[in-house]
Structure 1
Amino acid sequence: MQYRIQLFAGMAEQLGESVITLDFPQETVTITDIRKKLNEQYSEAASQLQGSFFTNNKKLASPEELIHPSDTIKLLQSAPGMETVVSACGLFAITYDPIDADGVTSKVQDPSHGASLTFNGTTREYTQGQRTVLLEYEAYVPMAMNTMKQIGDEIAERWPSTRTAITHRLGTVRIGETSVVIAVSAAHRDTCYEASRHAIERLKQIVPIWKKEVWEDGSEWKGHQLGGWNPHGA
């Protein structure tokens, strides 16, 4: 039986293809079986495979989940080109266009709130002495949208009556350009500071967005700054 695995971003670049077909004698396999065979066939990508996650029909797949040949299996890295995607509530968005920070801030304005805070994440030129030319962002969009909303729900539960909006940019983001805007409003300023910090740290922990750092003499795909993506991170 043949099983098709879709690859994205750094993994596709590493292996030189976007789809891999694996052959198994049985009609059902587990994610563990798929991971083992990938490790055997692509030992040069072992370090990337170790920190990867699979989805089955757009849902996170557990190691022992049974997979059929007709299932849509993805090794989480990115999503294809798209227009701006906005959540049903309008507070969370992913876009390939430049981000309007004032527009994101306007989403959280509330006459009962006495404070609002907007965080702008931009591309810096130097990191540990190495000059960055540009960044390229990719995401697994359906899950990224869900986890950004999860962050907003966490903030609303921890700091009642707050409002949070997040917009993240994909594609090429050059030096000085904005990659993410987080806006928070609340009755008091101390709540805004705490909630905003929580939002950016959680975004790095659980939102499946990857960036490719392009330097003057090379490039490298990276996950967020806190390590491999953990969808169950606390």
Structure 2
Amino acid sequence: MRVTIRYFAVLREAAGRSAEERVLSPGTSVGDLLDRLAEDYPIVDRLRAYSRVMVNQEYVPLDHPLSDGDEFVIIPPVSGGAGPFRVVQEPIDPDEVTAAVAAPDAGAIVTFQGTVRDNARGRRVLYLEYDAYPAAAEKTLAQIGDEIRERWGIDRVAITHRIGRVEIGEPSVVIAVASPHRAEAFDACRYAIDRIKEIVPIWKKEAYEGGETWIGSEAAYQEKFGHSTSRK
């Protein structure tokens, strides 16, 4: 059987490609394939304790059996088409995101903008670069919208996340929540950005003077081993 493997962020750099196809024996599990990939790319072994795996855009356990035609993606720990949940490459217009949730019965609209700052971890940041698994990212952004609906009864949520290079001062993510009352809108907006950092397969690289480091996708590994990627 044939399985397509896709790589993102630091894993794409380590593999030197964005995708490959492998022929596997029937009965091969997710864990089996991870073992084989770790032999070819040591970073897979270093990150596997902190990572999850998606097959066909769904999170699966290590004993999940692979099938012919599956798409396999390693999702390292994370730091957003169409509709209210989008991943885009162009600059984000916050007014468009806010307009997507506006309604006559909205007593409050809370908008959060995550903007690129010029410093982090004691270093001067030149710009950020975001990578993503777009289809799965939009799917998990929509999942966050469902979670907000279940928890607060709010169904007017819009999230747009940018990928590619983002300059200092530009928004990388914009979240808008509309509800009858402001307290729920504030709470839901905070919940959304926290969940984005937990589950959405989007990664960022911080570019400094003389070096660059992936944040989120390799944060746990860096904290433990002190690794970063330097530019000569």
Q: Same fold (TM over 0.5)?
A: yes
Q: Given the superposition, is the C-alpha separation of residues 206 and 35 from structure 1 closer, same or farther in structure 2, using an over 3 Å criterion?
A: same
For 1:12, give the aligned amino acid. R
CA 1:94/1:43 → structure 2, altered by over 3 Å: closer, same or farther? Answer: closer
Give how far 1:168 is off: 0.6
1:89-124 deviation per Cα after TM superposition (whole angstroms, max 9, x unaligned): x22111101111011111111211221111000000
Answer yes or no: is 1:61 the counterpart of 2:65.
no
**1:36 corresponds to which letter in structure 2?**
D
The 10-residue stretch of structure 1 (147-156 or 95-104) with the greater mean CA deviation from structure 2: 147-156
Give the Cα separation in 2 of the matches to 1:171 and 1:20. 22
| Matched residue SS, 1:67 | coil
Provide the residue aligned with 2:205 in structure 1: 212
- Equivalent residue number for residue 108 of structure 2: 115
Match of 1:144 in 2: 137
2: CA distance, partners of 1:209 / 1:101:
19
Encode CA deviations 1:113-158: one digit per residue, 9 max, x unaligned.
2211110000000112111111111111122111111111221222
Contact 1:92 1:145 (8 Å CA) reproduced: yes
Distance (Å, rounded) in 1 between the aligned partners of 2:208 and 2:135: 30
Corresponding residue number in structure 1 for 2:46: 47
Letter in 1 for 2:177: V
Deviations 1:172-215 (A, max 9, x none): 10100110000111112212211111111111111111111111
Q: 5+ residue gaps in structure 2? A: 222-232
Bigger share in helix:
2
Map of 1:96 onto structure 2? 89
The residue matched to 1:213 in structure 2 has which SS? strand
Q: Are 1:204 and 1:224, in contact at CA under 8 Å, matched by a contact in 2?
A: no
- Provide the residue aligned with 2:215 in structure 1: 222
Stretches of structure 1 lacking an aligned partner (at least 5 in a row) = 78-83, 229-234
Identity of aligned residues (%): 39
Aligned residue number for residue 11 of structure 1: 11
CA drift of 1:53 comes to: 3.1
The one-letter amino acid paired with 2:14 is Q
Q: Is the 8 A contact 1:162 1:187 kept in 2?
A: no
Equivalent of 1:176, from 164, 169, 172?
169
Mean CA deviation greater in 114-123 or 219-228: 219-228
Higher relative contact order by CA 8 Å / sep ≥ 6: 1 or 2? 2
In the superposition, the TM-score normalised over structure 1's length comes to 0.82
Distance 1:151 1:39 in 2: 31
- 3-state SS in 1 of match to 2:143: helix
**Structure 1, residues 12-45: CA drift from partner, whole Å, max 9, x if none?**
2123233456676x43311111111222333355
- Cα distance, 1:166 vs. partner? 0.6
Deviation at 1:223, TM superposition (A): 1.9
2: CA distance, partners of 1:104 / 1:225? 30
The Cα of 1:162 is off from its aligned counterpart by 5.2
Aligned length: 218
